[in-house]
Structure 1
Amino acid sequence: MKKCANFPRLISKSFLLISLSFLLTACNSNPSKDMYQETDFLFDTEVFIEAHGPGAQEAGLIAMGKMRALDRACNIYSPDSEVTALNQAAGEKPVPLSSDTFHLIQRSLEAGKLTNGIFDPTIGPLVKLWQEAKSKETLPTSEEIQKVLTLVDYKKVILNPDLKTAFLPTVGMSIDLGGIAKGYAVEQGINSLKQAGISSAMVVAGGNIGTINTKPDGTPWRVGIKDPQKPDCIIGYMEPRNQVVDTSGNYERFFTQEGKKYGHVLNPRTGRPTDRFASCTILTDSPTMADVLSTTLLILGTEGLILINDLPNTQALLIDSDGLQFMSDGLKGFIKFTLF
């Protein structure tokens, strides 16, 4: 990939995180038991695991298996998923869940509390409304949005930790875990590899990139930052070690109506897509929280930096629709603007 003009400067463009060492391969092309690489399509994105060390093949297969199981459980477009069963039973009865799915929903509700509802897993009806609008090449009316917003409230979800059940008390409520499931899957993959004794790995789900230590040769994992308006242009990078780098953006998934772009990130307060900020990058320790926070800050904008500055080991970079950059207090030392 090419360097940008004015490469060393902190200026003017929105970013997408990509791993410079994320070279997608055909499933398990390397037969060595001490190395594992595999790519799959899960959570509506590409998922990749690279692991090194004794037992890496077996450990990698187990980790990827966990991620696949989570995808099957949380896919709202699958008639057989656990989350689909939960949504279909809204207003009727609690639904028993697997331990991982229950824990993920529990984490999503905790994220709702942390963000004062800016991250809300019960946003499903609003997502459906805007998807239908996209398919019809129209926009929802204010009345339609307000009606749907009455179904969006994470505080209404009832969990029973003893029985591992969840209940949506109002007919029409639905959970959509798209803003947290990829991060949770990366976290589960990382944890699985660590439990197997793997000391060098990278786990990727879309823009969520988690790492274990360094590459086998001791060099750091390198996560590049590119300008989405110039996909071949690298402007900087980070070197996470036992950390995760995650990005959310409005520039890849959107539809255009009456000459205006409408992104996929929806504000549960207004019921409308957020459009002021083009991208948000998070650097932190938890893949799950990185996923949550990158979405949250796209909605909150610079107001969200107050939250970031209060969280330990967490940094953020926001890019608005005009290309202006806003960083958390400690981020500057983590971004490098000389690629080679």
Structure 2
Amino acid sequence: MKSFVALLFSLFFLMANGQMRQKDITVQKVLKLMGTRFEITVVAPNEEIGYINIDEAVSEIQRIEKIISSWDESSETSLINKNAGIKPVKVSPELFGLIERSIRISALTDGAFDITYASMDQIWKFDGSMKAMPNESDIKKSIAKIGYQKIILDAEKSTVYLPEPGMKIGFGAIGKGYAADRAKKLLVSKGVKGGIINASGDLTTWGTKVTGEKWLVGITNPLNKERVFGWLPIVESAVATSGNYEKYITLNDKKYSHIIDPRTGYPTSGISSVSIFAKQAEVCDALATAVFILGRDVGLHLINQINGVEAIIVDAENKIHKSSGIMFNTNP
């Protein structure tokens, strides 16, 4: 009799637990943050709590934007840029840490990723107005102030100094990923079971769907965004994609991406898209840009040497190249 009662109780508990799980819903909101499209998805017990959670994530992203934005004249980043060649600027530990990590990624990628790219003169135009290549001397001048090695950090005083007038830093190739990571961390600390922060292709996930299934990300065909090459599960992980299929120019029958190599001043060619998979969206964001610039062979060689990081590259001929740990799932 005890066994029968215990069995009934177990069945009841499982059914009740299943019903509780079924009450969870998916709540989603799309909005513009940091000048780009953010899509925030959370698993929540009801719509009201879901939207409260999303609003908290939005506030966190807006807080970060006020620190790293180059457009906000009162941001810490703007103050660093305004004082280039004048004096060091005391910054928050948060921004200091982000700059330190950015410099480490620059060293790892031989300068293919470099936050001082913001010093570059805008001589390349990707709005259809450009009909000829800029001359070589203009290109050399445009990158004269670039160089992550020039940034002077003082950890004791928490100051950042750009020693040359006209030097600038910008977080366009790492900021969205960092913001997505911070928003995720906040929601996890609030007990949100699962979700996705998608910052215009810089995406981080945690938990699972309400069904218990893994979140999936599709690798898009650069020639046809309606087609997907394959699907990959993203478990407590992140992915970022850099592509040239929306913003590029063609000169002398050669296609040039809007992604410019900060070491040379020339746009990249030969790659259509790069997707990087890692635990942190910040890392994915920065490495996607770096691998795009490094090129297929050098880029894959680099990724294959970094633990916990994978890459999928689609070259200019629409052929797929993968790092050693990537396995495609073509049936979502």
Name the TM-score, length of structure 1 as normaliser. 0.82
Q: Deviations over 1:14-66 (max 9, x none)?
A: xxxxxxxxxxxxxxxxxx99865332212332112112246654443222211
Pair 97,286 (structure 1): closer, same or farther in 2 beyond 3 Å: same
How far apart in 2 are the matches of 1:137 and 1:185?
37
Looking at structure 2, the residues matched to 58 and 33 of structure 1 have their Cα atoms a distance apart, in angstroms, of 15
The residue correspondences of 1:261-300 to structure 2 (distance < 5 A) are: 261-300=255-294
Listed as ranges, the matches of 1:66-215 within 5 Å are 66-126=60-120, 128-131=122-125, 139-215=133-209
Q: CA separation of 1:255/1:84 partners in 2, compared to 1, >3 Å: closer, same or farther?
A: farther
Conserved 8 A contact 1:127-1:266: no
Alpha-carbon offset, residue 248 of structure 1: 0.5
Residues in 2 aligned to 1:251 and 1:201: alpha-carbon distance in whole angstroms: 28
Report the Cα offset of residue 259 of structure 1: 5.5
Of 36, 53, 63, the match for 1:45: 36
Matched, 1:220 2:214: yes
Q: Is the 8 A contact 1:208 1:244 kept in 2?
A: yes
After superposition, what is the alpha-carbon deviation per residue over 1:125-158, rounded to whole angstroms, capped at 9, x for unaligned? 2263435997676543211221232311101111
- Pair 1:83–1:254, CA change in 2 (3 A): farther
Mapping of residues 317-336 of structure 1, within 5 Å: 317-331=312-326, 333=327, 335-336=328-329
Cα-to-partner distance string for 1:57-86 (whole Å, 9 max, x where unaligned): 444322221111222332223333332222
Cα contact 1:208–1:247 (8 A) shared by 2: yes
Could you tell me how far apart the structure 2 residues matched to 1:142 and 1:210 are?
Answer: 40
* Aligned-partner residue type, residue 49 of structure 1: I
Q: Classify 1:285/1:69 alpha carbon distance in 2 versus 1 (closer, same or farther; 3 Å).
A: same
Maintained 8 Å contact 1:212/1:242: yes
Q: Does residue 62 of the first structure (1) align with residue 53 of the second (2)?
A: no
Superposed, 1:237-316 pairs within 5 Å as 237-257=231-251, 260-301=254-295, 302-316=297-311
Q: Contact 1:212/1:241 (CA < 8 Å) preserved in 2? A: yes
Match of 2:331 in 1: 338
5+ residue gaps, structure 2: 1-22
Q: Retained in 2: the 8 A contact 1:201–1:215?
A: yes
Distance change in 2, residues 1:308/1:136 (3 Å): closer
* Equivalent position SS for 2:67: helix
The one-letter amino acid of 2:305's match is: D
* % identical aligned pairs: 31
Distance 2:180 2:325 in 1: 24
1:290: how far off? 0.5
Q: How many residues align?
A: 306
- The 3-state SS of whatever aligns with 1:266 is coil
How many Å apart are 1:275 and its aligned residue?
0.8
Task: Report the residue type matching 2:302 in the other structure.
Answer: L
Q: Which amino acid aligns with 1:322?
A: E
Residue 70 of structure 1 aligns to a residue whose secondary structure is helix
Please report how far the alpha carbon of residue 91 of structure 1 lies from its aligned counterpart in structure 2 after TM superposition: 0.4
Partners in 1 of 2:163 and 2:122 — Cα distance? 19
What is the CA–CA distance in structure 1 between the aligned matches of 2:66 and 2:41, rounded to whole Å?
22
Distance 1:171 1:135, change over 3 A: farther
Q: Distance in 2 between matches of 1:305 and 1:44?
A: 31
Q: Which structure's relative contact order is higher, taking Cα pairs within 8 Å and 6+ residues apart?
A: 1
Q: Deviations over 1:100-127 (max 9, x none)?
A: 3332222211211221211111111226
Kept in 1: contact 2:26–2:210 (CA 8 A): no
Change (3 A) 1:132 1:247: closer
Query: Offset of 1:223 from its aligned partner?
Result: 1.3
> What is the match of residue 14 of structure 1?
none
TM-score calculated relative to the size of structure 2: 0.84
